[in-house]
Amino acid sequence: MPLTLKPLLRLIFPLLILALSFYALGKATLLNNHYLLLLSLLPYAVFALVLGLAHYFNRSRFFSAALLLSGAYWLIQAHLQTSLVELHPFYFYTALSLLLPLGLLFLTVLPERGLWNVYGLLPLSITPLFVIATYTVSQQYSEEQLAALTNLFAIRPFGHYVLSIYASFGFLLSLLLGLIILLFRNSEAEAAFCACIIFVFATFVGFDQPLISSILFSGCGLILMISLLRSSFEMAYRDDLTGLLGRRAFNEKLRGLGRQYCIAMVDVDHFKQFNDSHGHDVGDDVLKIVANHLAQVSGGGVPYRYGGEEFCVIFTGKELKSCLPYLETIRTAIADYNITLRDKNTRPKNRKKGASQRGRKRNQNSVSVTVSIGIAEKTEKLANAKQVLQAADKALYKAKQNGRNCLAR
């Protein structure tokens, strides 16, 4: 599937929360002391909710991110509620500004493998190592050594910008690498960790503002919680192979359709024969390619993976005639797409050798697949979604009888 910038749209909602956080920051000083105390405790409460949800959904990276950020917030509250002119607060500020973006980047790079298993220990180890390393350095080194160490990261390089230049580059590099990973994986977890890097960066840049850590770290926790719920929704409602909405989402959509809609059934032609001839791995690639084309359907159509090699497209508020050109465009694009079959026996095992051969002309077999489409719309005779779906399935069977690679109604 081609790489697009569409995954960056996942950052829109976190950036809205960032804007609201800065608005709240300007109003927070109007609160009385009792509410200010509650505000200082708010990040712990939000992170506790994230920990509970991450445990429930078995998500190690979200669990580790909540631990890491709550530990960092505790260090801020315990050691940085004084002037950064003093050596030890300055040291803790510098250590946090360097280690936090690296920890969040590390969680972004790691794949999700569940929480309570051997693989879950790696992300869980970040927070204790982070705290132990920070405290060990502060205890083992003399004040002169700490001063020499932190002088490299002089704060307030200009104006009200508190963060050091080197630490700023560290945040920028971590964010860029995180965004690259987001572009390739396109998941809520990577978007959440990139957003947390931005929030932490904003916290350290404006560290001299009252209550900034309480408000922005609460925002981090809120983003983690929402992203965790959204990613869990995607796991339940999206097909893992193709990335399209799955059967559960399709069934729920059918129950809420209005007075005018069309349903199209799409089936890959001769898929079983193709699977038997070329193997299941190539068959999976075919399904991904078909799904990628269906995902680009215009006209308001929403594609779903119905099951096996069957897909559905629902057009709400559309008449049948107006849907036909959009489906024909997709059918033609799939038929014109050539799939190159690589010979696994002659594929170089060495990566360098394989990279050096890229771009050379080779004797490769290419195949193409086609789809048949049946479409039906709601009418007086087809009064409910089940009847429309059955009519679309009959139209699909008609397209198969007409020679496949065509659209019937």
Say if CB 10 and CB 182 are below 8 A apart.
yes
Say if CB 152 and CB 166 are below 8 A apart.
yes
User: So what's the pLDDT on residue 62?
Assistant: 94
Q: Dump pLDDT digits (tens) for 68-82.
A: 999 999 999 988 888
Local confidence band at 108 (pLDDT 50, 70, 90 cut-offs): very high
Say if CB 62 and CB 50 are below 8 A apart.
yes
Handedness of CA 109, 111, 115, 116 (dihedral sign): negative
Local confidence band at 361 (pLDDT 50, 70, 90 cut-offs): very low
Eight-class DSSP state of 112: P
- β-pairing verdict for 310-316 and 261-268: antiparallel
H helix or E strand, kind and range, residue 372: strand 371-377
Say if CB 39 and CB 211 are below 8 A apart.
yes
The CB density around residue 160, as the number of other CB atoms within 10 Å, is 10
Lowest mean pLDDT among 50-54, 83-87, 209-213, 293-297: 83-87
Strand partners, 238: 245
pLDDT of 288 higher than 50: yes
Strands (E), 152-271: 261-268
Say if CB 208 and CB 116 are below 8 A apart.
no
Q: Dump pLDDT digits (tens) for 32-49.
A: 777 888 888 999 999 999
User: So what's the pLDDT on residue 347?
Assistant: 47
Residue 221 CA to residue 216 CA, distance in Å, equals: 9
What length is written for the chain? 409
Domain assignments of the chain as residue spans, ordered by start: 6-237, 247-343+364-408
pLDDT of 268 higher than 90: yes
Q: Which two tokens stand for residue 80?
A: 């940085």
For the domain made up of 247-343+364-408, give the CATH fold: Alpha-Beta Plaits (3.30.70)
Percentage of the residues of the chain whose pLDDT score is greater than 90? 48
